[in-house]
Amino acid sequence: MKVLKNILLSVGGNDLQPADIYFSRVIKEVRYRSGKLNWDDIAEKEKKRRITGKIPKATYPKTAEVIDGKWSLAIPGAIDAHVHFNTPGFEDREDFDHASFAAAVGGVTTVIDMPCTSIPPVTNVKNLKKKLTALKNRSYIDFAFWGGVRSEDIRSGIDVEKQIADLSAAGVVGFKVYVISGMPEFSDLTYDEILKTAAMIKATGKPMAVHAEDKTLITNKRKQLQNNGDNSWRAYCEARSVRAEAKAVAELMKTAEATGARIHIVHLSSQAGLKKIKLAQKNGFSVTAETCPHYLCFTQDDFHNAAIRNYLKTAPPVKFEKDKNALWKGLADGTISFVTTDHAGCNPRKEKISENFWEVYGGIPGVEHRVSFLFSEGFKKGKLSLEQTVRLLSINAAELYGLSSKGKISPGYDADFALINLWKEKTVKSRNMHSKGKFTPFENVIFSAVVEKTFLRGKQVVKDVFGGKFVKAKD
């Protein structure tokens, strides 16, 4: 038996409650030590010290291993529901060994890895098994998987419906498809194919996650700009416009309406897309969305900064001030279910150096920074309550994707926690990152929240040696 003593738990709104957690591999008991505190009363370091100093000491069983939380905030181990850790396949860019370590350092205890950045891609159970074999003893944290559907699967005449059903039974959380894909190994679907695929996925009860940017609009614009020799960041952003995202989201809302399937929009970047999702939700369709720290922090103005320009490239690209503000509101009002990183690394010295922006690798390795980011920029700056922040980092994803042992500090759940120091600052430095490729557009940004310790199934990650395991989603 272990005890994590002297911690604060989020108990609704901006309230916290002093507590001790008793656990082994799972949580046994949460013992509250005294009444609720409000964040405003302890936001200053000195006030916190004074108030927590008066809490009567507790006694613990002699046989227990007692770990002192020093009155930091304990949150359920964070879940990053959208990452590209690339094992097996694209490991020159990123691999599970590095990325899962980076995740653990950043307070993340479970990731959900995308099917497309693997060779072979996770499109059937055979490939899923290959992935599981490749991951043996290579993850510091737990991992779940997305399955995926590509156009070549549909066009080759194989039984896609069976592949979907089998993958669901094997425990994937859902299925990823692309309206536009830059990956030759993972081709995009037409809207028609998406409609058919959604109907098949519906039978599993699991969501279809969609990269939503309209292919026709983007391709036409890109060709026109490239023909004019325009290789600037502006051209890239002009092609991958707000309009392109809004058009694809609108089509997908029709798919949700026509099929009743659960549709999840990944890495939402615009207010226009958000409005369409909000309307579909109001009309009772099963539609959810996520966004990422870069869309909440940066705008296209930041491409003027040559020091981070290439590091900031993603698909879709970051948008404008009003989009950024709308996304924060979407998180606060529940239209957007959680924040993921879309973690995608590369060797920056090889793939982030081109003067031709079309050729720059698109992707940000953010898994290490998300928890600090959301507490610092969301909670501490008053955009989200403490309760919302915690939900957006773990519980909501666990609930939406059926990871039933994850996401709560409650008896019976896995003993996964992260300890957050909300009274400390840290400057982001790429050289301190733990992912394989060390670069970030957040370079030199100061986060006013720091992840101190991470526990996975009862053991302190990084400190104790152990392996992460495959977490199956409920079938």
- Judged by the rule CB under 5 A, the positions of this chain that interact with Zn ion are 342
Of 342, 267, 264, the residue nearest 83 (C-alpha): 342
Closest CB to Zn ion among 82 and 408?
A: 82
CA distances from 33 to 69, 78, 452 (A): 13, 24, 22
The answer to whether 80 and 346 are in contact (CB under 8 A) is no
Alpha-carbon separation of residue 424 from 427, 432, 446, 471 (angstroms): 10, 17, 10, 33
Contact 2, 23 (CB under 8 A): yes
| Residues contacting residue 255 through CB under 8 Å, at least 6 positions apart | 191, 194, 195, 198, 261, 263
Nearer to Zn ion, 368 or 416 (CB): 368
For residue 315, the minimal CB distance to Zn ion (Å) is 9
Q: How far is the CB of 245 from Zn ion (least distance, A)?
A: 14
Tell me the closest approach of the beta carbon of residue 183 to Zn ion, in angstroms: 10
Tell the smallest beta-carbon distance from residue 263 to Zn ion (Å).
16
> From CA 446, how far away is CA 443, in angstroms rounded?
9
Output the residue with the shortest Cβ distance to Zn ion: 342
Nearer to Zn ion, 73 or 103 (CB): 103
- For 215, the enclosing helix (H) or strand (E) is helix 215-227
- Amino acid occupying residue 2: K
Least distance (Å) between residue 236 CB and Zn ion: 17
Q: Is 378 left (phi over 0), alpha (psi -120 to 50) or beta?
A: alpha
Task: Please tell me what DSSP assigns to residue 357.
Answer: G
Shortest approach of Zn ion to residue 342 CB, angstroms?
4
Query: Which parts of 255-375 are beta strand (E)?
Result: 263-265, 287-291, 338-339, 343-344
Look up residue 257 and give its two tokens. Answer: 């309406």
Pick from 328, 321, 317: nearest CA to 245:
317
- Reported in sequence order, the residue ranges of 12-163 that DSSP labels E, i.e. its strands, are 15-23, 27-32, 37-38, 65-76, 78-84, 108-113, 142-145, 147-148
| Residue 446 CB, nearest approach to Zn ion (Å) | 27
Cα dihedral: 367, 371, 372, 378 (round 10): 120
Nearer to Zn ion, 76 or 293 (CB): 293
Q: Give the Cβ contact number of residue 6 at 10 Å.
A: 21
Residue (145 or 455) nearer to Zn ion, CB:
145
> Cβ of residue 295: shortest distance to Zn ion, in angstroms?
13
- Whether the bond into 88 is cis, omega within 30 of 0: yes
> Shortest distance, CB of residue 114 to Zn ion, whole angstroms?
5
Residue 390 tokens, joined: 């915690």
Compare residues 87 and 385 and give the one whose CB is closer to Zn ion. 87
Query: Smallest gap, in angstroms, from Cβ of residue 340 to Zn ion?
Result: 8
Torsion of Cα atoms, 461 then 449 then 412 then 5, to 10°: 80
Q: For residues 437 and 458, which CB has a smaller minimum distance to Zn ion in the complex?
A: 437
Strand partners, 110: 79, 142
Please report how close the Cβ of residue 82 comes to Zn ion at its closest, in angstroms: 6
